[in-house]
Amino acid sequence: MDVPVLRLERLTKQFYEGVLQRAIFSDINLDILSGQFSILTGPSGSGKSTLLNLISGIEPPTSGKIIVDGIELTALSEKRRTLFRRHQVGMVFQSFNLIPTLSVSENLMLPLDLTGVSRKEAKLRVIETLDRVGLADRSNSFPEQLSGGEQQRVAITRALVHDPTLVLADEPTGNLDSDNAHQIMGIFKNLVKDEGKTLIVVTHRSDMEPLADRVFHLEDGNITETFVNMGVNVEGT
């Protein structure tokens, strides 16, 4: 039996609006296997970005468990969650979040420096990963010299260069036109699949759903699942 790389057990997140307590979601249970590409959809304010923050360990849940690659994040201190995220999680955002004063290669070196990879090994990884996304000739360029699609390719490469177990992307094509968006998602999927990574993407674009192995919809505190490859919809919490 396959062991899930991500397991959510009765995950609940609440916050206060004045004196009132509001639940974003309650008692979510979810298993995702290694190598699966999942898409998370839902209306604005439904908690999609919050769920990614919980899975990455950026913030803790109100209750429940988050287990990534056999490690229970909810049992770790904030410092240990940070260290775990630094080594085991890659993150991509709608805004590219590249440091404008650093070159492309220098932006990619940062996560490797943080994880203690040797300088020699880091340079080899940067060259190899840039070549895979077709940007080997832009290593010395600065972010402002790149197109939006090129910047997002760099951001995706940065999320993968330190060899994480889990890759999380929050609206990674939100700032791109349709053609660039499909190109980026195709590159993203191929990179993740080739390296056996597990990918969760938050997106509002329904045209991206056929690329995924699984699609989840978060709304009104519940999560529903669609098995795209089977062509049927299955609902549950």
pTM, whole model, 2 decimals? 0.88
Asked whether residue 147 is domain-assigned, the answer is yes
Domain count, the chain: 1
Instruction: Note the pLDDT of residue 229.
Output: 57
Asked whether residue 94 is domain-assigned, the answer is yes
Q: What angle do CA 167, 43, 98 make, to 5 degrees?
A: 40
Instruction: Note the pLDDT of residue 228.
Output: 54
Name the H helices within 18-98: 48-56, 78-88
Instruction: Note the pLDDT of residue 235.
Output: 37
Instruction: Note the pLDDT of residue 199.
Output: 93
Asked whether residue 237 is domain-assigned, the answer is no
> Can you give the residue range of the structural domain that contains 211?
6-230
Asked whether residue 26 is domain-assigned, the answer is yes
* CATH number of the domain to which 181 belongs: 3.40.50.300
Count other Cβ atoms within 10 Å, centred on residue 47.
Answer: 22
Q: Which residues in the chain land under pLDDT 70?
A: 1, 227-237
Asked whether residue 235 is domain-assigned, the answer is no
Instruction: Note the pLDDT of residue 1.
Output: 52
Instruction: Note the pLDDT of residue 185.
Output: 84
Asked whether residue 22 is domain-assigned, the answer is yes
Instruction: Note the pLDDT of residue 103.
Output: 95
Instruction: Note the pLDDT of residue 236.
Output: 37
Instruction: Note the pLDDT of residue 149.
Output: 87
> Rounded to the nearest 10 degrees, what angle do helices 178-194 and 148-160 cross at?
20
Asked whether residue 1 is domain-assigned, the answer is no
Asked whether residue 90 is domain-assigned, the answer is yes
Q: What angle do CA 94, 98, 101 make, to 5 degrees?
A: 150
As to burial, measured by CB atoms within 10 angstroms (0-12 exposed, 13-18 middle, 19+ buried), residue 76 is middle
